[in-house]
Amino acid sequence: MFEANYTTNHILVTEFTMKPSTNISSSHGPSGRLPIELLSEIFLLCVDDSVDARNTIHIPLLLSNICSQWRAAAIANPKLWARLFIELSGNASAADIALVSTWLARSAACPLTVYVFWEEAPFADTHAVLEKLMDHSERWRTMFFYLPYRAFKSFNRIRKRLPMLTDLSLGTDDDVVPGGLNMFEIAPSLRSLECVNFSPTVLRFPWSQLQDMPLLSGNIVDCLEVLARGTSLTKMSVVFVEGGPAVPGSPNTIYPYVCHKHLTCLTIMTPPWNESVELAALFPHLTLPHLETLTICNVNSTFGDAFTQFLARLPTLKTLHLRKTALPDDQLVEGLKHLSSLTSLIVLSAAPPSRLVALNGADTQPELTVTRYLLEALTRNFFSNDAMDGMLLPRLQKLELTVSATAARELDTFVDMLQSRLRDDDGLARLEHVRVRPSVHLNDEFVIRLVELRDLGLDVQVESTDAEARI
């Protein structure tokens, strides 16, 4: 960090004191006599979409310090200066203030994308850099603030001054107490909201216009309340840092019931330090009639029978992605019976790398989900007079599965299942793509028989457990 700051400050000071070259050939620099307008556009290709110090500070400064023509071209393009990544310390340095002031001036009237991190003490109620940024809040478009919570109170002066703000991310390491802060309540263009390490329900936002919530930290009540308020949300990802009471016989009024008619994509996760958050109480209180993608990751608590009924209330679901879950095979099969619209099924529940074993060894991590029972349930019935009789997932086109030692011993069952889904029967989709992600070393016969299915038109990918190229 010291080296990066030193380099940035050194270049910044050098830039302010640099004099245009008097040498004619030097003034045109390595670009020769390219028009400044063209050179300026080329400079935009030198940075990528990442909002970090390299792309928002180091590269723009470097481009403006090669020669006088490059300097003129760089300064003439406000888009090059409309993004900024900055890390604050407790005491505002002259270099930080000068840097922010320079970017704000050179970006002219361009919408701003700014990432601000203040994680280094001492902390205060505000910061000179934040005050500079707030002077230009009318140009905020994509803003990320990770600050001590007390500093957010100084944002009150931006209320009603956020006409261009579309994407907002707020985060803190502090414990947050609801205080009714309303500085973001009026932001007519705001569509995406992210809250890191605290629930968004403690602040006031224009809930009805939000469409995307990339990250929500909270519990079951927070999730349901956000869905109830954000009636236009289409995408939401929730990290459940805690669940809620799951006492038998508890009244349903503990949680509100939500039927959300616009949500199409939902991700449910738990943090790495607590994978056993109890979420069974969520599912009976939630109906998502237009959900198309459901991802559940890192949830090692039981789902409960209500999960099956929850799946039954997802008539438009196209993608189900389960990763590191404690969902038993029989419960998954029961749920799949209700998902006739599903086109993509991903079940990844590999054992940790430290527990990987060879096929001829003991399986120390029994696979809960991808078992013979699941494979047989996914196999189409050749002997039924009705092509749709007893067949799960009639529209399935993409399948991605973990293969543990237990599943790897079911080679014939595995291949039979895949072959059964290559038929072109009326009313049934043909399986097009298969990816196998083994948690054990697969023997040659297993791999060969999978690869042979390519001759039948199936796109087969087999990942390796030892960082080799995919087959």
Residues 409-440 as b or e (16 or more Cβ within 10 Å = b):
bbbebbbbbbbebeeeeeebbebeebbbbbbb
322: helix, coil or strand?
A: strand
User: Do 442 and 404 touch, CB atoms closer than 8 A?
Assistant: no
The tens digit of pLDDT for each residue in 378-406 reads 998 866 655 455 579 999 999 999 998 88
Alpha-carbon gap, residue 329 to 319, rounded angstroms:
18
Find residue 239's DSSP bridge partners.
217, 269
pLDDT along the chain (471 residues), means of 10: 39 45 44 67 76 82 76 80 88 85 93 92 86 96 95 93 97 84 95 93 94 92 95 96 60 77 97 88 95 95 89 97 91 94 89 40 56 92 58 93 89 94 84 93 90 94 66 68
| φ/ψ of residue 326, rounded to 5 | -100, 30
Taking Cα atoms as reference points, which of 173, 131, 168 lies closest to residue 149? Answer: 173
Neighbours of 356 (CB within 10 A): 19
Neighbours of 123 (CB within 10 A): 16
Alpha-carbon gap, residue 398 to 459, rounded angstroms:
9
CA 426: distance to chain centroid? 37
Tokens encoding 74:
């760089």
**CA-derived radius of gyration, the chain:** 28
Taking Cα atoms as reference points, which of 113, 127, 124 lies closest to residue 85? Answer: 113
Find residue 86's DSSP bridge partners.
116
Burial label, 244 (beta-carbon count in 10 A; 0-12, 13-18, 19+): buried
Give the pLDDT confidence score for residue 292 in this predicted structure.
98
DSSP category for residue 427:
T
Tokens encoding 238:
């929730």
The two beta strands, 265-269 and 140-146, are unpaired
Tell me: cis bond preceding 122? Omega within 30 of 0 counts: yes
The tens digit of pLDDT for each residue in 270-311 reads 998 888 888 989 999 999 999 999 999 999 888 888 999 999
Alpha-carbon gap, residue 411 to 44, rounded angstroms:
52
Give the pLDDT confidence score for residue 466 in this predicted structure.
59
| φ/ψ of residue 83, rounded to 5 | -125, 145
| φ/ψ of residue 443, rounded to 5 | -75, 170
Give the pLDDT confidence score for residue 389 in this predicted structure.
54
User: Do 87 and 144 touch, CB atoms closer than 8 A?
Assistant: no
CA 24: distance to chain centroid? 50
Taking Cα atoms as reference points, which of 452, 443, 449, 418 lies closest to residue 433? Answer: 418
Alpha-carbon gap, residue 201 to 209, rounded angstroms:
15
Instruction: Name the residue type at position 394.
Output: P
Neighbours of 175 (CB within 10 A): 8
